[in-house]
Amino acid sequence: MCGINGIAFSIRSRREVSSDVLTRMRDILDHRGPDDGGIFVAKNVGLGHRRLSIVDVAHGSQPMFNEDRSCTIVYNGEIYNHFEKRKELGEAGHKFINRSDTETILHLYEEYGRDCVYHLRGMFAFAIWDAKKRELFIARARLGVKPLYYVYSDDGSLYFASEIKALLEAGATKAEVNFDALPDQFANHGTSGDETLYLGVKRLLPGHTLVWKDGKLDIREYWDVNFEPKDKCCTEREYIDEWLELFRESVKIRLMADVPLGMFLSGGIDSSAIAGIMSTMVEDPIKTFSVGFRELEANEFEYARIAAKRFGTDHHEITITPGQFFAELPNLVWHEDEPIGFIASVPLYFVSKLASEHVKVVLTGEGADETLAGYGRYAKTLQLLEFGKRYENVTPGFLRDAVRGGVS
């Protein structure tokens, strides 16, 4: 995890970026990247970066420049296919001076411009200042694992950062409630669109790019989930085999790191499956981490220990007391910038602190419920859709119209 931030002042604002303000923005994100930090300032544009060193630890400092220093990048994430892309770019004449995936993004931008995102496989949020075009290019990966927030002022100026607190630190906006976003917050435990709970603060949506040029914004979607069925028909066994191969590949590519790796192990299906696959791909025992409470009904240690023993992991545990739970809530709200929508954030915070004492990178089972329909609400949705079809078939149109009018 790294932290990025930046400022771009329009010509009509008649302002230049203060290195002090840019540095304050950057350093309030110190927890995202305690290993290194840097800034770049070119009159009305500035970029900042806090680094957690994972790939090419010795030579991956940011901001990073291309050969003629006409392009400057700050980046948060991991590009899993960057070795393959380095080979392609090298054959096209690009020169590399380090092994970082950051430099790969820079050369892809030089080669493809805004379309560079189509060549990236990974999780990312990055910003590139192109001095020749005098424009700032910002991109966020397809599923939005890495955050990116921004404030766009009336005079055309742009502030952006990995966390909202950095925007407040720069004075880009005040900490005022965005009342239009409250219904979304209450209904979904968080805001789901580009709006946040802070008035004037927006998030760049997943699968989108943003170009800023002298005060004008151009935001485009480059990817969205596609639910169209495949052309070919497969047996159930073939679908299972295909999924298993994709699962193995997904775990393998996420082991790309020059630092120690570990994983969060709850003992559930998701994390245990990852631990099982991961144990076949690394030489040393996996370092696994579990969190639990003293109350037995909220303690999954037994299941985690079974999985740890089965796969021969180097297992670590932490037990949270009620006092610790409530004592850390203010700290957690500060980290998340918005109200805690999911109480699982609290134990996740504690197990992350435990893991940080041993490793820099962890794999988790997060996202499996979304991709494999693991939540109860998915089954209920399917039931409701089926009930809806029956309702449409047996209820006359005039009666449906009357019901619809009464509901609305």
Q: In what order do the strands lie in the sheet with 216-221?
A: 64-65, 71-79, 122-130, 135-140, 208-213, 216-221
Token digits of residue 250: 């997904």
Contact between 159 and 9 under an 8 Å Cβ cutoff? The reply is no
> What span, in angstroms and rounded, lies between the C-alpha atoms of 312 and 287?
10
State the CB neighbour count (10 A cutoff) for residue 208: 22
Per DSSP, 8 falls in state E
State the CB neighbour count (10 A cutoff) for residue 361: 20
Q: In what order do the strands lie in the sheet with 202-203?
A: 36-42, 45-51, 3-8, 158-161, 149-152, 202-203
Residue of 2, 71, 233, 234 with catalytic role = 2
| Partners of residue 75 on adjacent β-strands | 126
Angle between helices 329-336 and 345-356 in degrees, nearest 10: 90
Classified as helix, coil or strand, 325 is helix
116 in active site: no
Token digits of residue 26: 């950057």
Using left for φ > 0, alpha for ψ between -120 and 50, and beta otherwise, residue 171 falls in: left
Query: In terms of DSSP H, where are the helices of 55-163?
Result: 82-91, 101-112
Contact between 42 and 131 under an 8 Å Cβ cutoff? The reply is yes
Active site residues: 2
